[in-house]
Structure 1
Amino acid sequence: MELISEKTIGTGKLRLVKGDITGRAVDAIVNAANSHLQHGGGVAAAIVRKGGSSIQEESDKAGFTPVGTVAVTQAGKLPCKAVIHAVGPQMGEGDEDEKLKNAVVNSLKAAAQRGFISISMPAISSGIFCFPKDRCARILVGQSERFLKENPGSSVKIIEFCIYDDATLEYFKREFYKESENSCS
């Protein structure tokens, strides 16, 4: 795991790390999930592979989860306390930016409701769902900054982006290093 950067936003911190999200020792990790919570590919498959079948079993019980919303399961054998399954949009379904914003905000709210301090999220929807990586980075960083600024009393104090591949990481670096406030409207 490699810490790329960290910055303070209000009472919290944003972190950018390169590595495998399944090894993150944070309170919660975010899974880039599909609406049926079937974890067969990408980040989702890695989470179940390393965390154990109990994650998929609990997801099966949760059932259908609409795009933009989340479901929370235990973490199995992973070093975190919980997995927040955020259902991001697939390109072409319409209103994708707003749906991704909702997935991010709902992930952060779910963490706060459980009293979690730290959360790590991947580049939701930017893999097999084909969401453009630059827009993904802009939305995730922007919404996370906004959450920290607007919720200074929240338990969530560390929001990290855990990015696995170099191409996606470059887009997150660009957003992360912007001096001006990210536009999320």
Structure 2
Amino acid sequence: MGSQSKWMIEKNRILSLPIEEKRKLYKSSDYITVNQVDPWCNYVVRNKDVEDKKHNLEDLNEFRKIKLNQEQNKSLAERVSLFRGDITKLEIDAIVNAANSRLRAGGGVDGAIHKAAGPLLQDECNSIGGCQTGDAQITGGYDLPAKYVIHTVGPQDGSAQKLQSCYEKSLSFQQQYRLSSIAFPCISTGIYGFPNRLAAHIALRTARKFLESNQDVQRIIFCTFMPIDVEIYETLMQMYFPLHQWNYNDGATVSE
């Protein structure tokens, strides 16, 4: 049996398992279901200091690039989450991997995902033959709690357009694979050096646009690990997914 057929057989077997059987494959028992992750509207209630965090003038300028459909504010605040923790623990439909162009196990989030998924993930990645910057590929999740892993290659040159493409291409798998829950790490902000704050604007803007026109995704989760990213997302999510009318929630309407 070749390695390709081995990963393919195992991938299909795992995807067809009842959830109780699949849980026996996880490397640890401390998995987290989507229902255990607070939606944004609850997160703000539980973390009282969040609303003390205010955006700055640069945030407003970046925010002018989107026009929110205000009627959806309340419902969308229930469909996004800010999660501080380990993305490999999430028992959801898909987690996104900040991959390299060769789709080889690397450091950081990439290495953690490969370690938790087991060696067959690398076998499937090898069969794909790489991934361009700004593009995405999807594989099975194997021993991970997540059903699928979406591998996307973030820019190393600070290209906002390519980073936006990472989020768009990752979300484009939603319909074909019937993904109702997707979790993103902070793509390109680690060793690739993309500015954390601008990266968060791009992630939130792209997710907001997607959710406004897509009813099938029940939850998009933004996974933050570094304290700076927690701080940034707590600040900016108030703009893109506002809970109050008095929030400054539509820079696009400001007259120049």
Q: TM-score, normalised by structure 1?
A: 0.88
Deviation at 1:40, TM superposition (A): 1.3
The residue that corresponds to 1:39 in the other structure is: 105
CA–CA separation in structure 1 for the residues paired with 2:75 and 2:170: 18
Contact 1:32–1:122 (8 Å) recurs in 2: yes
Given candidates 232, 235, 252, the residue that maps to 1:174 is: 235
Is the radius of gyration larger for structure 1 or structure 2? 2
Q: What secondary structure does 2:91 align onto?
A: coil
**For the residues of structure 2 that align with 1:36 and 1:54, how far apart are their CA atoms?**
16
SS at match of 1:83: strand
Q: Identify the residue that residue 188 of structure 2 maps to in structure 1.
A: 125
Unaligned runs of 5+ in 1: none
Partner-residue secondary structure (3-state), 2:80: strand
**Aligned partner of 1:89: which letter?**
P
Q: Give CA-to-partner distance per residue, 1:32-65, whole Å, 9 cap, x none.
A: 0111111211100000111111111111111121
Paired letter, 1:169? V
Greater fraction helix: 2
Distance in 1 between residues matched to 2:170 and 2:230, nearest whole Å: 21
2:23 — aligned with what?
none
Match of 1:100 in 2: 163
What SS does the aligned partner of 2:114 have? Answer: helix
Q: Which of 145, 159, 168 in structure 1 is aligned with 2:220? A: 159
More strand by share: 1
Is the contact made by 1:28 and 1:111 (CA closer than 8 Å) also made in structure 2?
no
1:6 and 2:6 correspond: no
Identity value in percent: 35
Count of equivalent residues: 178
Compute the RMSD of aligned alpha carbons: 2.1
Structure 1 equivalent of residue 204 of structure 2: 141
CA distance in 2, matches of 1:103, 1:85: 9
Task: Identify which range, 1-10 or 132-141, moves more after superposition.
Answer: 1-10
For structure 2, list consecutive stretches of 5 or more residues without a partner in the other structure: 1-31, 42-73, 243-248
Relative to structure 1, the CA distance from residue 37 to residue 168 in structure 2 (aligned partners, 3 Å threshold; closer, same or farther) is same
Could you tell me how far apart the structure 2 residues matched to 1:115 and 1:11 are? 21
- The answer for the alignment partner of 2:131 in structure 1 is 65
